[in-house]
Amino acid sequence: MTAFRALSRAYALALLRDRRQIMLMCTWFVMMFLAYAAAQFMVSGGSAPAVVTVTGASADRAEAAAVLGRAGVAVVPAGESATLEVHLSEGSAVLQLLTTPSVSWSGTARALEHMGIPLGQITALDAEGNIVPELLRSNLSAVLLVGILSVLLIGGSVPFVRLRSQGTLRLLRTVPLSPGVALAAFMPVRVALCVAMGLVVVGTSVVLGSPLGVPTIRLIVTALIVILCATALAALFAARSASPESLENVMPLVIMIAYGLLLTATFIPGMSPGWQWVVRALPTTWFVEAANADLIGTTPFLPVPVLWGMLLAVTAGIAALAVRRFRWVVPGRA
């Protein structure tokens, strides 16, 4: 443990002195977060408050009208002039915008969440009948995933391989140090940066209406598990690679492919069953499914604890493989 603490402290101080490297590691997360925030601002409707009429079963209408009224949303009886129609059905709601330009519908959606309808079961339609997505909150899981991968794969694996190519690891081999400690000591400061990103995502989700309590705790656990899994993956790439330049070119491609596969699952709901199972077999999908269950109330294809167990099993396997395949020097330079 003494060697681990000394090495992790030295690695942390070296990174904290390099502010440019920290900024580069956070670039993907910041850019995606801002892009989705700007897109959400553009599609969430105008600044004018909505005048709402509610349709559906009479008991649901009365409850929804009361909840909307307490939230400060103007509610009028059916048949009167309104700018937003809320149609309630069992466990879901459709928000039909009636005017162009549209009015703000986010306050109505949040009020319906307090009524027990999860965001994943609320659909907003513009005046032409097109779906208006809730872009930021629905994509916070993907933003966090890309941020974690960029920090640990680009900002973790590549610098570690550079130490090997420069001969630093060869010197460390003279110390009583196991491969597992050598890999693990490099990661704590980077894991801390990923935890900070996770806190930003959790805080944003709460501000945007995600319920506090058990869902928030579950979301935090999901984020910590995926950080562990990504750390093990970064260690696997770092354990044996010889060229930091090659790895630096490959890692962004790996991240883009992972994100692209998530986009197919998001925007192609009618994908073939075979391709659907390919996407569902990926650990990245397990994380997004588990996170979205608490971010927007969707139903994952497996229970969240099962997805946690699958992620932890993959983490243990990858970590063991990284330690087993570890090498201290580049072949031919020993």
Pairing of the two strands 74-75 and 84-89: unpaired
pLDDT band at 116 (very low <50, low <70, confident <90, very high): confident
Look at 260 and 1; give whichever has higher pLDDT. Answer: 260
pLDDT of amino acid 123: 81
Mean pLDDT calculated for residue range 295-302: 86
Select from 265, 283, 285 the least CA-distant residue to 275.
265
Give me the pLDDT at residue 108, please. Answer: 78
Task: Give the model's confidence band at 228: pLDDT under 50 very low, under 70 low, under 90 confident, else very high.
Answer: very high
Task: Check pLDDT > 90 for residue 183.
Answer: no
Q: In this predicted structure, what is the pLDDT of residue 46?
A: 56
- Asked if residue 197 has pLDDT above 90, the reply is yes
Highest mean pLDDT among 2-6, 76-80, 280-284, 325-329: 280-284
Does the structure show a pLDDT above 70 at 265?
Answer: no
d(CA 308, CA 142): 17
Per-residue DSSP letters for 303-318?
A: -HHHHHHHHHHHHHHH
Q: Report helix, strand or coil for 297.
A: coil
| Residue 303: per-residue pLDDT | 93
Report pTM.
0.84
In this prediction, residue 196 carries a pLDDT of 94
pLDDT of residue 86: 83
**Domain locations in the chain as residue ranges:** 2-38+138-325, 45-133
With tokens 């937003």, the residue in question is 84
Distance CA 62, CA 80 (A): 16
Contact in structure between 245 and 165 (CB atoms under 8 Å): no
pLDDT at 226: 94
- Of the two residues 267 and 73, the one the predictor is more confident about is 73
**236 membership: H or E segment, kind and range:** helix 214-240
Could you give the angle at which helices 273-280 and 244-267 cross, rounded to 10 degrees?
A: 130
Predicted confidence at residue 231, as pLDDT, reads 92
Task: Give pLDDT, residue 320.
Answer: 92
Burial of 134 (0-12, 13-18, 19+ CB in 10 A): buried
Q: For 24-78, how does the pLDDT look when each residue is reduced to its tens digit (9 = 90+)? A: 888 989 999 999 888 887 766 555 567 777 887 766 777 877 887 777 777 777 7
Reply yes or no on whether the pLDDT at 195 is more than 90: yes
Per cent of the chain over pLDDT 90 is: 22
Neighbours of 187 (CB within 10 A): 24
HSE-up of residue 19 (Cα within 13 Å, Cβ side): 0
CA 52/CA 61 separation, integer angstroms: 11
Please provide the average confidence, as pLDDT, over all residues in the chain: 82
User: Taking 90 as the threshold, does the pLDDT of residue 83 lie above it?
Assistant: no
Residue 220's pLDDT is 93
The predicted pLDDT at position 89 comes to: 81
